[in-house]
Copies of this chain bind each other. A is one copy, B any other.
């Protein structure tokens, strides 16, 4: 036993899924500290293009500025606090607050505020800036004062993201799935494939990973032998408690699909043009994790991104992003309903599973249960999690 009764190898105790003080600590120590995926550069091609990211009580504006940079600002007017930007995406020359018309330029500077006292300094009243970094074409933001370093990640993942052409992706579709559970139950669900065979027959017909450990180990060894030397086959395990001090966590490896499958689709058929520098299908799919709650699944012809964000102590949202090559044309090179099929059906099933998990966890008779050998990644998450939250704040939490 260590922090708050947590024992490695077991699920968390109930309070971590229900207690409001623990939730507050998570927001501070995880979501306001780590890097959060915002979207892709292709979503803001021109100066003034913007979209917003929302979680917990926060809203952040991502915008392309006049000089071509991408910046992030808190969506909170410096006057009396109204949200400045009410639309989730669009294009603007100025962010003009809908309340009193204080206006901010694309860089967040306050450029208009009527009738203010003489000693008022517009220069001190810009939108609060938010740290933003690009990784390939992916936009990440951090609400921390001193964000974690991304240098190790950039060094390791840079060549891979280049190989798959991440900076030449376009967002084909984005869907939000609201889940009536604590965010960790949703993240834990994503982290293990122990439930894939019983719950996701669609996935299990395509991905070898859904099988039992012994069979999968054999299939993975054969897959690795078949592709020795392929640049896709590197592995990085700097995630959660394995992350270097001061560095954001990340993870990458590639896993086999079952024979006959090229992509994550009905029947395993190809879905879209090959990505980046790829010239052929290898019947594999890569797992890529960046920061604690952002996961990518990289097929040879498309990328699916999963972002888990809390909205309250017992509700969260799973946002899914489907990316294809920027040159691919809808209805010509890919069909949207085919592209989104697998992970839409899988996530709809998971939403029910996770909801019923929360219901059971709420019982006074729930006790932490032993994890299986197929839940080792989740175990790493839990070990890191209990160390991450500030236990001082939650000393009195029940």
Contact = CB atoms under 8 A, between A and B. Distances in A.
Interface of A: 9, 11, 27, 32, 57-59, 74-84, 86, 96, 98-101, 113-117, 120, 125, 128, 143, 188, 194-195, 197-199, 212-213, 352-353, 356-357, 359-367, 369-374
Contacts of A58: 363-365
Given A116-B373, A194-B100, A75 B213 contact: no
A74 B369 contact: no
Most B CB contacts (10 A, CB to CB) among A58, A113, A114 go to A114
A359 B199 CA distance: 38
Contacts of A362: 57
Contacts of A77: 360, 369
Contacts of A369: 77-81, 125
B116 A370 contact: yes
B115 A363 contact: no
Nearest to A350: B99
Contact of A57 (B99, B101, B117, B364): B364
18 contacts: A57-B362, A59-B359, A75-B363, A78-B367, A78-B369, A81-B357, A81-B361, A82-B359, A83-B360, A96-B198, A99-B195, A99-B199, A99-B353, A100-B194, A100-B198, A114-B194, A115-B194, A117-B372
B115 A372 contact: yes
A98 B198 contact: yes
Contacts of A114: 194, 212, 372, 374
A359 B56 CA distance: 11
Most B CB contacts (10 A, CB to CB) among A58, A143, A188 go to A58
A381 to B, nearest CB: 13
A78 B76 CA distance: 45
Contacts of A188: 80
A215 to B, nearest CB: 11
A114 B198 CA distance: 11
A367 B125 CA distance: 11
Please give me the 5 A-B residue pairs with the lowest Cβ-Cβ distance, nearest first.
A101-B198, A81-B361, A57-B362, A81-B360, A83-B360
Q: Most chain-B CB neighbours within 10 Å: which of A86, A96, A117, A372?
A: A372
A372 B117 CA distance: 6
A74 B125 contact: no
